[in-house]
Amino acid sequence: MTVNSVLTPSMSSSNSMSSGYCSLDDESEDFTFFTAKTSFFRKPKHAPKVETKEDEDRGTKELTEEEARQRIQEYNSHVSENGMKLSSDGSYNGFIRVHLRLSRPVTVKAVDSPAPDGQESTCSGAEKRTSFYLPCDCVKQVHISSLTSTREVIQGLLKMFTVLDNPCKFALYRQTHRDGQDLFQKLPLWERPLLLRLIAGPDTDTLSFVLKENDTGEVEWHAFSVPELQNFLGILEKEESERVRAVELKFAVYRRKLQEALQRHDPQ
Residue 235's domain comprises 225-268
DSSP codes of every residue in 2-26? EEEE---TT---------SSS----
Total domains in the fold of the chain:
2
Same domain for 152 and 117?
A: yes
Same domain for 188 and 204?
A: yes
CATH number at residue 162: 3.10.20.90
pLDDT in tens for each of the 268 residues of the chain?
444 444 433 333 333 333 333 333 333 333 333 333 344 555 444 444 444 444 444 567 888 899 999 999 999 999 988 899 999 888 999 999 999 999 888 888 876 655 555 554 444 445 678 888 888 778 999 999 999 999 999 999 999 988 998 898 999 999 998 888 888 899 999 999 999 999 999 998 899 999 999 875 556 667 677 887 888 888 889 889 999 999 999 999 999 999 998 888 876 6
Same domain for 23 and 111?
A: yes
| pLDDT value, residue 130 | 84
Give the helix/strand (H/E) hosting 242: helix 226-265
Q: pTM, whole model, 2 decimals?
A: 0.57
Rounded (10°) angle between helices 193-200 and 65-76: 60
* Residue ranges with strand state E in the chain: 2-5, 85-86, 92-100, 106-109, 129-132, 138-145, 170-178, 181-186, 208-213
- Alpha-carbon distance of 112 to 117, in angstroms, equals 15
Same domain for 190 and 120?
A: yes
- Alpha-carbon distance of 248 to 251, in angstroms, equals 5
| pLDDT value, residue 29 | 37
Quick count: other Cβ atoms within 10 Å of Cβ 213? 14
